[in-house]
Structure 1
Amino acid sequence: MNTATTATTATSTPASGNTRGDGGARHLAGTGALLRLALRRDRVMLPVWVLVLGTMVVSGAGSIEALYGTAAERAEVAASMTANSSLRSMYGPVFGDSTGALVAWRFGVFAAVLAAVMSLVVVVRHTREEEETGRQELLSAAMVGRRAPLTAALLAALVGNTALALVITAGLAGRGAGSALALGLAVGLTGMVFATTAAITAQLTEGARLAKGLAAAVLGAAFVLRAAGDAGSADGGSVLTWLSPVGWAENVRAFAGDRWWVLLLPVAAVLVQGAAAYGLTGRRDIGMSFLPSRPGPAEGRLATAGALAWRLQRGGLAGWTVGFLVAGLVFGGMVEGAADLVGDNEQARAIFQRMGGAQAVSDAFLAALLGMFGMVASLYAVGSVLRLHGEETSQRAEPVLAGAVGRLRWAAGHLVVAFAGAVVLLFAAGLGMYLSYGRDFGAVMGAAAVQLPAVWLLGGVAVLLYGAAPKAAVAAWGVAGLSLAIGWIGPALDLPRAVLDLSPFGHLPKLPGADMAWPPVLVLLAGAALLVAAGLAGLRRRDLVTG
């Protein structure tokens, strides 16, 4: 037992059932109360995740029917998409030509990946993050079993994934209730696989960010394995595809034969990983980990607040950059096939033009893809800005500010990483797309750079909320998520222009191909600057922690 937390362990032992001979119920004491607390804390986040993901999948049926209204059109598009290795690597092979099968093909993989992201965030939030902030130590001093926090976190993830599965099932039941249930379970069980993955990484690391990063790295590896396997196989039978939990979801083949037995694979993975997580949590003290942080040097080497911010965020930025570069390489290879994908379908062409402008299909497709990269980059910017909030609430900011460091200097270090990091990400995405697309370096990089004003505006919203209303800072995720949802789903649903304009990305010029329009770009830049200035002014006036 680690001596650093002997006092904590001694306090919590009678209640948590750490002595031999105690029944399993003692280890789970207080699970119900912790679950209610977790659901109360996530009463906004979980419903938003579920509704956005569920709506994305369910609404896809209507957009596909609008695009491909006849069986012949659906059969043609299924054949052309299956023959394109780049599209297979992105979405997987098409196993059927019904509307439901095309929905499962177009949205199944992404819904499974996003359900996994939702799940790993929930589990780490209610396990390692609670320990990192010290709240778990207080809870464990009461009648709380050793394994109760982990159980409550997994149950919270189960609630979210079950709700998501039910939304998908109910929304697509009219096209075949059994197949709709198969798709819902495939998405929900993928989320639970990575919930238990996060449960393991939360035991291995001392920090919540590293726990999320490791779980996300496993998810990224699973996606890459599936993409590599599908690129080389048109029937989903590649060994690489079967090694990936994301590949299991697509091989359920909802609306195309419904392979129910494949669902046993994620169930088995959940049971095995869950058992491993429970075993690990019973062998460590609260706050400790199996991969402790390395001790720092005897003398500090960080001379400025900016250097500290860079040290804290460089790992995350590196991971995001690699992801953007790889995604750019994958997407860039799809640009040449954009015209073949659209063919003579005027409705499909209209969707691409609403997303990427009324130019040639390849340019519109390229603009649409880089717009999506910009929307995802805004998630990085918001998360990087809100690192300030995490440093403050965990009381790590107070010792820094107690020295000769002002609040604005401290905040500026993190904001430089956030806003400059967005530049790095979009450059990486543009470079990857150019390398695989093979032409028009200046046009590709210009189309990537024009996304920055909108990214910075959403980053400015995060600065304003953190500086002026820190208790509402988490709402910045909602603003960024809404912009992503509008940009992703809006053009396919042909939403009114007034709705599309709610996203700052809707005001950007559609490069390459369209003319450069400076007024909206300058307005977005000015708005971002004003939001940052207002947020910093609020931070300078308010009290720390209490807001």
Structure 2
Amino acid sequence: MSTATVTRRSVRTHADPPLAGLWQLCRHIVRRDRARLIVWAGSMTLFAVYFTFALTTVFDEAALAARAAVMSTPSGIVMGGPGYGLDDYTPSVAMANEGITWLVLSLAIMSILHVVRHTRAGEENGTSELVRASNVGRHTTAVAALLTLTGHLLVIAVLSAGGMILVGDDVPVEDAFAMMFGCVLVALVFGTVALVASQITAHSRGATGVSLMIFALAFVVRAAGDLQEVGGSTLSWFSPIAWAQQMRAFVDLRWWPLVLPVLATVVLLFGAAALARQRDFGAGLVADRPGRADASGMLRSPFALAWTQQRGAMIWTALAMGLLWYGAGTMMSTLNDMVADLVDDNPVLAALFGSDPSAFTSSFLGAMVVFMAFATGAYAVVMAQRPKAEESSGRLEIALSRPVGRSRWLAAQLSMAAIGALVVLAVSVYGMWAGAAQVGIDEPDLGDFTVVFVSYSVGVLVLLAVPAALYGWAPRATGLGWALLAFVFIADFFGPLFDLPEWVQAISPFHWVPDAFAGDVEMWGVLGVAGVCAALFALAFWGFRRRDVVST
């Protein structure tokens, strides 16, 4: 028997099982992410508890009837859901109808980031290679990421449902748990989508971007399906988001829709495993294009380097947002007729919005503008993390070894991030205008949309400047930019409804921006936000020049 034969048999005999070291890696992930897991669980539980408490204590029957009237409008259907239980709008029904979309959104983002961080990002920065050097199977990392995510989601579901039951007024126990289990299982579907994307793309940014684009597509499909028919149409069922809503919690509970996210998760998991067997470790199925043999002269500048690093995210995000909001603009073709019918049939809605349907069209567009500004702010927060990633990977030290000053390098990174955020916002705003113009909507006109773009630009740049200032002084704290984004979401979307104090709402930069399409525009608040933005960027440069550069 030859030595080669012995070696081959030895390798086969001692090969690690596909899931070797699974529980050890699960414990490692939980210990490594314990702070992040606790913050997410606490935040989601607090959101569910506060939402339920406010609906129970702040709103009487008349106010709930007014909310039901709003949720029956096209904008309410897009931002909320199919509208089950609007004829008897209790606090529990309001929680399900208005809260599920936002719970799924938050949990899906959490799931995508968790899976990408422990799979594709680990392969990209080399930590997974160190893990695989031990007694760890090929699929252990992916399964450990999904198992820890599943456990975390279940903890959130139990805590949130329990909190709703404690603070609510006679909240049905079964319905509360059903609603939360539906939300977390749908979020798990998008976590598995991120696992598939991590097999296809070669970089963590690409995997995250593809996963978020799929979520955006699911949101559009759900909204379009719910607008076609009360209670949702056949099209709605093609979106995982609708599966949680179609359980009809607190109205006519049914458990069988939970089968759909479970089946989707299993199918996607097996698909990810099949794709993983077809690729090399550290690479994606879609390989990077080979670069030029010689770098062009344009790459001599820090800005050109930042452009090369960020242009892909900017282009694809702008394309997705442009298509999304162009589609939203085309919905204006039927909005006036729908609103006219609703106002005629509902005196509460007539009292809220008057008898002029065109005025409500502006109100609908204004609500959409706030949502697109929030989505653009999320892009800005992501791009604000780029300088920290460059420093942690050691590439910053290489760049600064050349005749490049610190301020020049940081200015290039932040300038490109700001340009990308403004491009995404511009494409979103003018995409909506183009969609509305395509179907014959003349008001608001192009000038009104331009005012909206200018007004909301400063708010988006503040969301970029806050993590930039944190990076300049305390790089580990840049993640707090996400906390600010979450606060802006709560303050802008729910602050007036829950009667939050004025000083609390004023923390959001969008609070100082004039309402979109509201007629007379006062720009003093915009100028004040611009001054705050400039001060934050100055703090970023000052802090970055004073501290040491540290790579990991």
CA distance in 2, matches of 1:415, 1:107: 35
CA shift at 1:180, angstroms?
1.2
For residues 422 and 182 of structure 1, do their structure 2 counterparts lie closer, same or farther at Cα, with a shift above 3 Å needed? same
Contact 2:342 2:349 in 1 (8 A): no
Aligned-partner SS, 1:451: helix
Which amino acid in structure 2 is aligned with residue 179 of structure 1?
A: D
Asked if 1 retains the 8 angstrom alpha-carbon contact of 2:101 and 2:241, the reply is: yes
> Is residue 2:277 matched to residue 1:273?
no
Higher mean Cα deviation, 320-329 or 284-293?
A: 320-329
Whether the aligned pair in 1 keeps the contact of 2:70 and 2:349 (CA below 8 Å) is no
2:90 corresponds to 1:101: no
Match in the other structure for 1:506: 511
Aligned to 1:229: 225
2:205 paired residue number:
209
Could you say if the C-alpha distance between residues 429 and 205 of structure 1 is closer, same or farther in structure 2, counting changes exceeding 3 Å? closer
- What letter corresponds to residue 248 of structure 2 in structure 1? R
The 2-side partners of 1:362 and 1:288 are apart by 48
Local SS of the residue matching 1:175: coil
Tell me what 2:466 maps to. Answer: 461
Q: CA–CA distance in 2 between the matches of 1:347 and 1:505? A: 28
The aligned runs of 1:343-492 (5 Å cut-off) are 345=348, 366-435=365-434, 436=436, 438-441=442-445, 442-492=447-497
Give the drift of 1:432: 3.5
Distance 1:314 1:34, change over 3 A: same
Q: What letter corresponds to residue 399 of structure 1 in structure 2?
A: I
Which amino acid in 1 is paired with 2:381?
V
Q: Using the alignment, how far apart are the partners of 1:264 and 1:88 within structure 2?
A: 25
- How far the C-alpha of 1:23 sits from its partner, in A, is 8.8
Paired amino acid for 1:182: A
> Is structure 2 residue 285 aligned with structure 1 residue 290?
yes
CA distance in 2, matches of 1:348, 1:189: 39
Residues 52 and 485 of structure 1 are in contact (CA less than 8 Å); yes or no, is this contact kept in structure 2? Answer: no
4+ residue runs of structure 1 moved beyond 6 angstroms?
A: 337-343
Q: How does 1:47-126 map to 2 (within 5 A)?
A: 47-62=38-53, 64=55, 69-70=60-61, 74=65, 81-82=71-72, 84=73, 87-97=76-86, 98-99=89-90, 100-126=92-118
For residues 338 and 50 of structure 1, the distance between their equivalents in structure 2, rounded to whole angstroms, comes to: 39
Distance 1:69 1:139, change over 3 A: same
Of residues 54-63 and 139-148 in structure 1, the stretch that sits farther from structure 2 once superposed is 54-63
Deviation of 1:362 after TM superposition, in Å, equals: 6.0
Distance 1:377 1:344 in 2: 36
Aligned counterpart, 1:356: none
289-298 or 322-331: bigger deviation: 322-331
Return closer, same or farther for 1:66/1:137 CA change in 2, 3 Å cut-off: same
Q: Which runs of 5+ in 1 are unaligned?
A: 1-12, 351-359
Q: How far does residue 497 in structure 1 lie from its aligned partner after superposition? A: 1.1
CA deviation vs aligned residue, 1:107-150 (integer Å, no higher than 9, x gap):
21232233212101100011111111111212222333332221
The TM-score normalised by the length of structure 1 is 0.84
Q: Counterpart of 1:133?
A: 125
Q: State the aligned residue count.
A: 519
Q: Which runs of 5+ in 2 are unaligned?
A: 1-6, 354-358
Distance in 1 (CA, whole Å) between partners of 2:135 and 2:172 is 47
Q: 1:328 aligns with which of 322, 325, 328?
A: 325
Q: Is the partner of 1:266 in helix, strand or coil?
A: helix
Which amino acid is 2:308 matched to?
A: R
The CA distance in 1 between the partners of 2:74 and 2:526, in whole Å, is 36
Cα deviation per residue 1:467-497 (whole Å; 9 max; x = unaligned)? 2211222222222322222222222211111
Distance, in Å, in 2 between the alignment partners of 1:30 and 1:486 is: 44
The separation in 2 between residues aligned to 1:73 and 1:524, in whole angstroms, is 34
- Residues 86 and 330, structure 1, Cα contact 8 Å, conserved in 2: no
- In the TM superposition, what whole-angstrom CA distance separates every residue of 1:74-107 from its partner, at most 9, and x where no partner exists? 4x8758855x556444433212234233322222
Kindly report which structure 2 residues correspond to 1:142-221, keeping only aligned pairs within 5 A, or say none. Answer: 142-173=134-165, 174-221=170-217
Deviations along 1:411-449, whole A, 9 cap, x unmatched? 222212221222223323322343425413322321332
Offset, 1:247: 2.3
The answer as to 2:246 corresponding to 1:251 is yes
**Cα distance in 1 for residues equivalent to 2:302 and 2:369:** 33
